[in-house]
A and B are shown apart, each in its own frame.
Chain A
Amino acid sequence: MEKVSVVIDGRTFEAVKDRCVLEVAHENGIYIPSLCYNSEVPSSGGSCRVCLVEAHQGGRMRLVTACNYPVRKGLEVKTDTPLVHRIRRGVLELLLARVPDSEVIREMAASEGIAEVRFRKDEGENERYKCIACALCTNVCAEVVGVHAIAMTERGADKKPATPYDKPSEVCIGCGACAYACPTGAITMKEKDGVRRIWHRDFQMVRCSVCGTPYIPQAQVDWIVSRTGKDRSFFDKCPDHR
């Protein structure tokens, strides 16, 4: 793999060409906030804009999203400049106005010195239920799970993830990967008496034959079996008791 050297905040690092700035920075202990990016999800990133940093290259400076900007030879990144903080504050103030109830956003905004927003908040009938429309959930479902149960619908401020026609999805396997990936905890997944409810649908959970804990939806087991040909009995026990 071709390696290049890249400068981040004045320090020089060796990095694999075309890896994203965010990962290279994090591996070297430099903090850049992020919300919509997950290294396991190819199409993720680029949407929330909290990871904007200064990229200096070829005598030119641009603000770029660290989560998908490739490191190349001669790149110098600055993550801690007045411009970076000014724009990050702007983004966080808008996110806070959008989802005032999200603890994650409140904390991230507070770390940039924002406690209150000056703009109209999305409340009442405009409540966005913590969702910042970052599309990480839909990307996870499509690219990691390999199911296309949800997609981003609507445009503009109303953009949101949804199942087709907001009805229970027939292809959803109830795996919950979308909910685990969501940066703001905006997807409700509830479990009661061995039944998981997510995206308007109830999923019967399989119990571990050893400890009796319901640990995986039957639909997910069926899906894995049909996809991989794995032996069904494998799922009798939860990972702790295999």
Chain B
Amino acid sequence: MGAIKSVEQLEAYRRELAAAARPELPTVLVCFGTGCQANGARPVAEAFMDVIKEQGLEIDVNVGIKTTGCHGYCENGPLVALRPQDILYLKVKPEDVPEIVEETVKGGRVVERLVYRDKATGEAVARYSEIPFYRHQQRIALRHIGTIDPASIDDYILAGGYAGLTKALAMKPDDIISEVERSGLRGRGGGGFPAGTKWRSCVAVESDVRYVLCNGDEGDPGAFMDRSIMEGDPHSVIEGMIIGAYALGSHQGYIYVRDEYPLAIRNLTAALEAAREKGLLGEDILGSGFSFDIKISRGGGAFVCGESSALMRSVAGEVGEPRAKYIRSVERGLYDKPTVLNNVETWANVPEIILKGADWYASIGTEGSKGTKVFSLVGKVNNTGLVEVPMGISIRELVENIGGGILGGKEFKAVQTGGPSGGCIPERLADLPIDFDSLTEAGSMMGSGGIIVMDEDTCMVDVARYFTGFLVEESCGKCTPCRDGLPRMLDLLTEITEGCGGEEHLAMLEGLCDLLTWGALCGLGTSAANPVLSTIKYFRDEYEAHIRDKRCPAGVCKALITYHIDPEACTGCRLCAKNCPQECITGKRKEPHTIDADKCIKCGVCKDVCTFDAVRIS
């Protein structure tokens, strides 16, 4: 069908779709997120198509097959979900497909070997919703991801999509802003600035032209929440932006996406096209008289391009570098016009807030941080992936209930939150609620929601050095504290990890942190002290061990450790000797081996291969 010309027509269309849908039909949902595609989702989907085609007529089972966005559990991909049985299979291969069709689709039975198994208890969990990784989640921004086909606008509409928009179009623009204000929604891109307040101050500025922007740059290494939303549910972002544009009186929007996200660009482009065709974008949206369109702007990919002034310059075709200015972008932003920039996840929340109301949204989360937040949980936990939880959940709940505890039964040491310029929070503070203000108070930040779990084998000085190194590479070089201060900070940290640090190193580090925090031009520099300051604050003893005792307590810093073999534990299996790249392990079969410390390059291979835990670090 062509363009939908009124709100009534859209609702009629939704009813039509609902009448044609047959929810009782078995549905196979193959995850087509970037992670699962890399793990071979396409051949699996093709295998399903083949089997269905082959058997289709005989067995009178009509199987709908869908390709969806990322379920957040990529590590276990390709993922296949089956409805109505509510079963999730992990690591599915094309060979498994005939069995799945026979057993589950036709017979309703579970293929045991493909289901999730709790790493701690070994218990098998077949039902999607009962898997601990999902059971503790509450999905608002990720509401459709994994259940709808991002390439199908009908899927989105059938799932209730664009109902937020139809409700908004019946409201006064001012009331929409009030609703967003009352919801307490804070920006999900890092700063946590209240979205409603930003919108309000933008409309207060007189102008005939206004822009709404979506920040899909997502430069944090390891973070993929925004990518998942753009890939798996692009219409939620588009709908949010249309509502925002209507409230703000804007007629042009831009979605800034990094070039490294080709699938996001493709799915967004197709979604924009589909929305235009349906009359949801462009001239006279749904017959309301309101016109608005969105363009995609592709970013070159530097981390700092995600910073708001750099992003706006980049969209305008200039060098993507932060600009020193004190006039806010709600007054003078893109092309010097009043501009509202919000993050992908922020926009994706907007339609639900309008549809279900500010009170509903504000009932979730904490006093100062409402709603849910999507996190990318990685590091030394059993379950890694994308999770969406209510604000205020404790670090421990996240690590233990959803993450399934620390990998290999090791000790939980710390979490690093907030991306490369976030801070580290020690295990003893793990009952801290995860919300904007608590994290900032603890010396870290929410950032865009990256959470890296660290175990006892992590050296905190090395962690600070690692993140500072990342920031040195990403500094645009425009202002002195960041351009010339960060490399000095890296020098000092490297010297400490190499055992050449003196007492004065800590004071010098703290001095540079102070300078960056007060003196840098953009957020990259002003938050760059977090990794260093937080580790000095919570793990000062570790710095002191490196400086005073020339010792790395976690056994990570190569200059400060030696490898040796415990003769009591060594069985003389020769495995380490065979694998040592330096050929510096000697010993007779079935007798304890020894390492020639002079030749050893501390690569750790011997420790990794030894099954008797006989290789020790001191």
Contact = CB atoms under 8 A, between A and B. Distances in A.
A156 B521 CA distance: 13
Interface stretch (B103-111, B323-331, B338-346, B348-356): B323-331
Contacts of B325: 46, 68
A98 interface: yes
A97 B492 CA distance: 14
B487 A157 contact: yes
B599 to A, nearest CB: 32
Interface residues of A, number: 35
Contact of A157 (B477, B514, B520): B477
A167 interface: no
A95 to B, nearest CB: 6
Given A65-B324, A87-B518, A97-B488, A157 B481 contact: no
A90 B512 contact: yes
Interface string A69-110: 110000000000001001100110011011000000000000
B472 interface: yes
27 contacts: A46-B521, A47-B478, A47-B480, A48-B480, A49-B480, A49-B519, A49-B520, A49-B521, A50-B480, A52-B518, A68-B324, A68-B325, A70-B327, A83-B518, A86-B514, A87-B514, A87-B515, A90-B485, A90-B519, A95-B480, A118-B508, A120-B491, A135-B478, A157-B475, A157-B477, A157-B483, A159-B477
Nearest to B521: A46
A156 B512 contact: no
B518 A64 contact: no
* 4 closest residue pairs by CB, A with B: A46-B324, A159-B477, A90-B515, A94-B484
A120 B500 CA distance: 14
Interface of A: 45-50, 52, 63-65, 68-70, 83, 86-87, 90-91, 94-95, 97-98, 118-120, 132-133, 135, 152, 154-159
Contact of A154 (B477, B481, B521): B477
Contacts of A94: 480-481, 484-485, 488, 515
A94 B477 CA distance: 13
Interface residues of B, number: 33
A87 B519 contact: yes
Interface in B74-92: none
Contacts of B277: none
Interface string B42-72: 0000000000000000000000000000000
Interface in B475-510: 475-481, 483-488, 491, 504, 508
Contacts of B512: 90
Given A49-B479, A156-B472, 13 more contacts: A69-B326, A70-B326, A87-B515, A87-B519, A90-B481, A90-B511, A91-B480, A91-B515, A91-B519, A95-B484, A119-B488, A156-B475, A159-B477
B96 interface: no
Nearest to B325: A68
B473 interface: yes
B510 to A, nearest CB: 11
A47 B518 CA distance: 14
Contacts of B472: 156-157
B326 A68 contact: yes
Contacts of A86: 514
A47 B522 CA distance: 11
B545 to A, nearest CB: 23
B515 A47 contact: no
Contacts of A63: 518-519
Contacts of A70: 326-327
Nearest to B472: A156
Contact of B326 (A64, A119, A158): A64
A156 B480 CA distance: 10
A70 B327 CA distance: 8
Nearest to A119: B488
Contacts of B488: 94, 97, 119-120
Contacts of B326: 64, 68-70
Contacts of A65: 324
Contact of B324 (A47, A155, A158): A47
